Homo-oligomer: A and B are copies of this chain.
């Protein structure tokens, strides 16, 4: 494209919008479903049992160690589908760009998004771009909605945890939030901490293939592990008990959390899942997770109990016990 920065006219629906679509969007997304460029895409699904999700991404900065807003937007929506055990199939991409945003940065973000969808066979079927005046936006905001195919006869969800179930996590927690915060706060680590942003569908597909008795899957994004577990405890009307000693946390994340006054349990993850499954399946589930590169550091970290209902407790390494509270939510603005 001739312009090296986004202009208001790129969102105006005329010739400038056409050139943005033809020279930028269609460079990254080539599927014939999209290329028709009608008001709505025409899909043929393999099943009538679908999962549908939406997320907007406003991460600041949009480029961070280990990823960027494009990769995040693809993974986040794929992961929301995967948490319903749904095979991700179609995605929409809605952009809100600020006048003056660099076209090269847009290309970089869209390239990251497209690399994830292409690798998983997810089709970007429809899209939209709006432009707002300089000073009225945040550079780039991305919305992705996703449609996936749910497996027949599998009923999983936040309300399906049962007393006795095992609680597993697929790897170290807090990496994404701290990687983003480290850029924002100018923290330096000996080895640069990377965001864990990754599509979790391949990991979920393995769990399904090995017929693990999944009751609940959650990706602990905003609000971290604490919010995910509190949600499940409340929705399933059970207690959850976890063991700090079994919780995988990187040394750098622990250090940064100390420095920033954060609890690693409250920090967002973008490539981790919490699995709640029937206890007898837990060792096999752990083996399945660990066999995959995304689950190398997986751990059985707790169990579901009858009560106290709606409460998450943690046995601390010091030998005590504390209640894990739902965070208030003001710790980490614009983390995803």
Contacts and interface: CB of A to CB of B under 8 A. Distances in A.
A80 interface: yes
Contact of A15 (B94, B224, B328): B328
B16 A54 contact: no
A150 B268 contact: no
A323 to B, nearest CB: 14
Given A131-B333, A133-B334, A158-B37, A328 B56 contact: no
A10 B329 CA distance: 7
Contacts of A266: 14
Contact of A13 (B47, B136, B268): B268
Interface in A279-331: 326-331
Interface in A98-148: 125-128, 130-133, 135-138, 141, 143, 145-148
B86 A40 contact: yes
Contacts of A44: 48-50
Interface stretch (A23-31, A214-222, A248-256): A214-222
A172 interface: no
A8 B333 contact: yes
A41 B36 contact: no
A55 interface: yes
Interface string A1-28: 0000001111111111110000000000
A209 interface: no
A46 B47 CA distance: 10
Given A141-B141, A326-B14, A92 B43 contact: no
Interface in A155-176: 157-159
Contact of A53 (B7, B17, B126): B126
A42 interface: yes
A332 interface: yes
Interface in A200-227: 218-219, 221-224, 227
Contacts of A18: 326
A14 B83 contact: no
Nearest to A14: B329
Nearest to A41: B52
B143 A143 contact: yes
A138 B145 CA distance: 21
Contacts of A95: 56
A13 B328 contact: no
Contact of A52 (B10, B60, B147, B219): B147
Contacts of A190: none
B58 A130 contact: yes
Contacts of A180: none
Contact of A48 (B45, B141, B268): B45
A286 to B, nearest CB: 22
Given A44-B50, A92-B145, A94-B145, 14 more contacts: A8-B330, A12-B222, A12-B329, A36-B157, A39-B53, A39-B218, A39-B219, A40-B53, A40-B148, A45-B49, A54-B128, A55-B94, A132-B334, A143-B145
Kindly list the 9 A-B residue pairs having the minimum CB-CB distance in the complex, ordered from nearest. Answer: A13-B222, A12-B329, A14-B329, A13-B223, A54-B92, A9-B330, A145-B145, A14-B327, A40-B53
